Amino acid sequence: MTDRDMIVCRCEEVTYGELTDTAEKFGCTSRELKLRTRAGMGYCGGRTCRSLVDAIALAATERDVTQITLKYQPPVRPVHFGDLGVITND
C-alpha cells in the first residue's frame, strides 16, 4: 500500500491521495476539504480524523485561532430515528 492509498478518514474511507489532491487543486479550508471529499462526515463525526484533515488544509491556509475548523453539529453521536423527539418527564 502506498501513501496515496492510505486511508485518512476511516469511516468514509477517504484516502490521503484524494485529500492532498483536493487541497492542492482548490487551496481549500478544512471545511471545504470535508465537503468535497466527505472526510469527517461519517459515523464518528470526524472525532478520529479531524486533526489529520486540519493538517492537510493548514498546508494551504492560515489557522484562525478563534474558529473551530470543522464545525460540530447535533447530534454529536448517531441517534436512532426512533429515539429522536421523544419527551420524557424525568
Partner 1 sequence: MTERILEHPVLGSLEAGKTVTFTFNGLEYEGREGEPIAAALLAAGVRTLRHHEESGKPRGIYCNIGHCFECRVEVDGIQGVRACLTPVRDGMAVRESGVLPSPVRDWRKNNA
Partner 2 sequence: MRDLIIIGSGPAGLTAAITAAEHGLDVLVLDEYHKPGGRLLGQLYEEPGGTWWNGIEESRKLAERAGVLGLDIRLGKSVHNIEQVNSSWLVHADCETFEAKSLLLATGAAEAPVAIPGWTLPGVMSVGAAQVMTNVHRVKPGKRGVIIGVNVLSSAIAMELKIADIEVAAIALPKTNQVNGSASNPTEVMNALLHVSHMAPSLFVKMGSKLMKNDFMKKMGITFYPKNGVRMWDIPVMLRKAVIRIEGTDQVEGVTLATVTADGKVIPGTEEVIGCDFVCIAGGLYPLAELAALTGCPFYHINELGGFVPLHSQDMRTPLDGLYVAGNITGIEGAKVAMSQGKTAALSIAKDLGQDIADTSLSEAVRQISSTRTDAHIQFHPEVDAGRRKLQEYWDLHDAEKRKVMV
Which residues contact partner 2 by CB under 8 A? Answer: 1-3, 5-8, 10, 16, 20, 45, 47-49, 51-52, 55-56, 59, 63, 65-69, 71-80, 82-84, 86-88, 90
CA 33 → CA 50, 59, 87, 89, distances in Å? 11, 12, 37, 42
CA distance 52 to 46: 10
With CB under 5 to 8 Å by kind, the binding choice for 43 among partner 1, partner 2, none is partner 1
Nearest approach in angstroms of CB 47 to partner 2 is 6
Nearest approach in angstroms of CB 77 to partner 1 is 9
Cell 419527551 -> residue: 87
Nearest approach in angstroms of CB 78 to partner 1 is 6
With CB under 5 to 8 Å by kind, the binding choice for 25 among partner 1, partner 2, none is none
**Which of 43, 36, 27, 41 is closest to 70 using CA atoms?**
41
